[in-house]
Each structure stands twice: as structure tokens, then as C-alpha cells.
A = this chain, B = another copy of it.
């Protein structure tokens, strides 16, 4: 599968990247696989965060020399795109649309949330992704099928899907930082003291009130479901 890319202006040529299965009939056989390399990178990102993923470490994990990776992806940014599409493969095992697009969309969103919680580097990676790979497209196909009963036109369906994904990514990103803050008591306490100090300056009465009477805290799951419901139920209003 390895194949060098053209030095195109900026970004990666999707045709070169995603199409063409196995062309080269001559020459040395590949010792590794794109699949294995990308899977190793994903495992590292899941376990240690995206910033722990370096070309050297991925190569070592796979048992390759560093520069060998460049036969499978033209640069690191492309490797990241491959990672995003790779994990999207987990999303394809979804039931066919039921016909009730509202519940189908909610199911899709819940799938995405679980997916992003499993791969916490995803929300940030999604905000700079370029071209959808095959797994991403398969999931998009699924979402479009679920949206068929709405009667929306093509552009509108794509927008709905993009917005839904962005919504989930935003929520999960928030959820992750909340969870991280809750896990380290020092951190949370320091932040609470800081906010209390700000609220005490008299120029933030609303903030002070919120801190004084925060209300009962809901689970992240419940909050997600509530906002999701509002977003989706609002979709046919306009």
C-alpha cells in the first residue's frame, strides 16, 4: 500500500490518500502496514494523549525505522487524518435507520459521544480535519440515511450532520476537562478559590450568585441527553 504523494501545495490530495488499494507490482514488499502503524499511533494517543504520539515512538512501537513511516504516510499531519478515520471504523456497526429520524439522530449522537470518550484526542482533532476517509464516509452515509425522512435537501443534511458532530465534540471536550479537574483535588480546589476571589470583587454579581447556589449537579450523561434532545427537537421548528 505504500505510495509516495505529490508535493502538492497544501494539505493532502484525497485521491492519492484514500483511493487505490494495491497498485505496485514490482519492488520490495512492504514490511509493515498502514493499518498497523495507524493502530499503534491510536493506541498511544488513547493511552498517553495525542502529544505523546511522535514519529519516533510510533516507529519504535511497530519495530520500524523512523523514516520507514514516510512510506505509509507523507507526513505526520496525514498520519493524524488516518488515525481519525481509523477509529471512525468503530462507528460503522450501527443498526439501519428505524424511520424515526429523531431517535435515530439521538442514537447516532450517543454513539459519537461514547466514541469520543474512548478517544479523548478526537474532539480537538476534528476541529482541523480536512477530508473524510472511507470510514468517516460510511458513517456519514448512515447519518444521511437516518435524515432521509426529514425531506431536507442535500446541503441541509450535511449541515445538520456537521452541527451534530460539532455539538457532540464540544460537549465531550467540556466533559473531559470537567472530569480531569474533578480527578485532581488540588487543581479543582485552586480553581474554586480563584473563582470565589473573583466573585468576591463585587463586579461579578451573577457569577457570585451562581457559585453560591449552583443547583444540583447532573451527571454528564443526563446533561448531554437533555441538550441533545433540545437541539434535535428544535430541528423541525425552522
Residues of B within 8 A of A234 (CB): 230-231, 233-234, 237
A112 to chain B, nearest CB (A): 13
Binds B, one of A25-33, A58-66, A81-89, A136-144: A136-144
Q: Which of A1-17 contact B (CB under 8 A)?
A: 8-11, 13-15
Tallying the copies of this chain within the complex gives: 2
From B169, B187, B210, give the contact of A154 (CB < 8 A): B210
Closest to A198 in B: B137
Known: A227-B159, A231-B231. A167 touches B169 (CB 8 A): no
Residue A95 at the chain B interface, CB threshold 8 Å: no
Residue A158 at the chain B interface, CB threshold 8 Å: yes
Residue A22 at the chain B interface, CB threshold 8 Å: no
SS class, residues of chain A in contact with chain B: helix
Q: How many residues of A contact B (CB 8 A)?
A: 77
A160 to chain B, nearest CB (A): 8
From B148, B154, B158, B215, give the contact of A156 (CB < 8 A): B215
Contact with B along A152-182 (1 / 0, CB 8 A): 0111111100110111011101100100000
A222 to chain B, nearest CB (A): 11
* A→B interface (CB under 8 Å): 8-11, 13-15, 18-19, 123-124, 127-131, 134, 137-138, 140-141, 144-145, 148, 153-159, 162-163, 165-167, 169-171, 173-174, 177, 184, 186-187, 190-191, 193-194, 197-198, 203-207, 209-218, 223, 226-227, 229-231, 233-235, 237-238
